Amino acid sequence: MKSAQRLTLYLLLAPAILWLGLLIVLPHVEILILSFSERVAPRVYAYGAGNYLEFFTEPLYWRTFARTAIMSIFVTAITLVLAFPIALYIARVAQGRTKAMLLLLCLLPFWVSELVRTLGWMMLLRETGVVSYLLRAMGLADQPVELLYNDGAVILGLVYGGLLFMIVPLANALESLEPSVVEAGFDLGGSRWTVLRRIVIPHAMPGIVAGSIIVFMLTVGNFATPVLLGGKNGLWFTEQIYAQFITRFNWPQGAAFGMLLLLLSSIIVWAGLRLTRQSLGTTLRQA
């Protein structure tokens, strides 16, 4: 009886374990092994940490990573600021059908692929595009304005892509906030700002952290948006990985970059958790 139960448990777990093992753990192990091989001569490889050393000794690569990480943190912060009032409205103010409607509106852009959404931004922002035309029509500019191919456009595209993933955990967290607690805050003479700062935000903290982790990880690993909207000066770290794998045929170097991206962004997330004094456990429950 007991062993039959255990067998059922294993059988039920099997798909999840197979999924994790075959599609996530195994490829990562292979990438890890690959990242420690160095080309000696055609078809001859030796083991060594040279690919990792290359990252730290060649300023180009770690600067690209630092740039990517800083911009991703920036994007996460903007997304949070934009998403908070929206989530608050959806969770606390909107009722019934309006609520569902609003969530649907947030979800709608995600029914088309990321590539199409990004191309949409390109049409709006390019020199001969909609925004440039409107600016001229309103007399705010006397010649075509190029809004594409710069860091601002990349940040815009990434914030747009991350918004939903911030709103959902935030709204979730805010929904469980007791209205009576907020009322008590006001009764005790707290201003709107004080109530927001001392009651609402602390309550939403797990949601904030969960949303921030998701948005940060999605942003730092994004490829299409920075490639399409970014300019000649902005290289995203994922582009370096792509270049090593596809155009330089240097798989070991690309693999090392991939592992470094995983490692360094995990460290940033860990540092973020420590700074906000959140544990991964509560955050995951919220997400």
Can you give the binding site for other proteins, defined by CB under 8 A? 42-43, 58, 60-61, 63-64, 126-128, 144, 146, 149, 227, 231-233, 235, 239-240, 243-250
* Nearer Cβ to other proteins (63/274): 63
Nearest CB to other proteins, comparing residues 58 and 178: 58
Q: Which is nearer to other proteins, 5 or 128 (CB)?
A: 128
- Looking at the Cβ atoms of 253 and 286, the one nearer to other proteins is 253
We find the least distance from the C-beta atom of residue 184 to other proteins, in angstroms, to be: 38
Q: Least distance (Å) from other proteins to the CB of residue 195?
A: 38
CB of 30 to other proteins, least distance (A): 12
- Pairs from 248-255 (Cβ < 8 Å, separation ≥ 24): 250/39, 251/34, 252/34, 252/35, 252/36, 252/37, 252/38, 252/39, 252/45, 252/51, 253/51, 253/54, 255/31, 255/32, 255/34, 255/35, 255/51
Can you say whether residue 245 is alpha, beta or left, with left for phi > 0 and alpha for psi between -120 and 50 degrees? alpha
Q: Which is nearer to other proteins, 45 or 74 (CB)?
A: 45
Question: In whole angstroms, how close is the CB of 134 to other proteins at the nearest point?
Answer: 17
Closest contact distance (angstroms) between CB of 51 and other proteins is: 12
Taking the least distance from each CB to other proteins, the nearer of 3 and 233 is 233
CB of 212 to other proteins, least distance (A): 27
Rounded to 10 degrees, the C-alpha dihedral 65/70/73/77 comes to -160
